[in-house]
Amino acid sequence: MEKLSADQITIAGLDNKHKMTVLLTATKSGGLLPLQLVYVGKTECCLPKGIKFLASWDVAFTKFQWSTRDSMMCCRKQVLIPYVKSIWESLLLSQCNQPPLV
């Protein structure tokens, strides 16, 4: 991440190439939710070296770098449910009578 109007942007890990899928989630009101990054592998050892991900991002691992049912369930748990709960709390809604549309 760089400042707006930066003259030069350093690309960390330029020689460290990894295939990945990025899942972008937007709300009806135009907000963007945290990213889900899907990498090939089983553990964090598969991640590019020297890159720090935001704590709110969901980093998932699959046999291929594609989004799968399991990675989508992980995104649901790590990104969608916390967002819906925060909206319910901010609007003082009850989970019982105001189900979300996802």
Query: Cα–Cα distance between 62 and 19 in angstroms, integer?
Result: 11
Continuous segment of H or E residues that includes residue 36: strand 36-40
Closest CA to 40 of 76, 67, 79, 13: 67
Q: Which residue has the higher pLDDT, 26 or 20?
A: 26
Whether the per-residue pLDDT at 20 is higher than 80: the answer is: yes
Q: Global pTM?
A: 0.69
- The answer to whether residues 79 and 33 touch, using CB atoms and an 8 Å cutoff, is yes
E-state strands within the chain: 20-23, 36-40, 58-62
pLDDT band at 32 (very low <50, low <70, confident <90, very high): very high
How far, in Å, are 47, 60, 76, 83, 101 from residue 98 at the CA level? Answer: 39, 30, 18, 14, 9
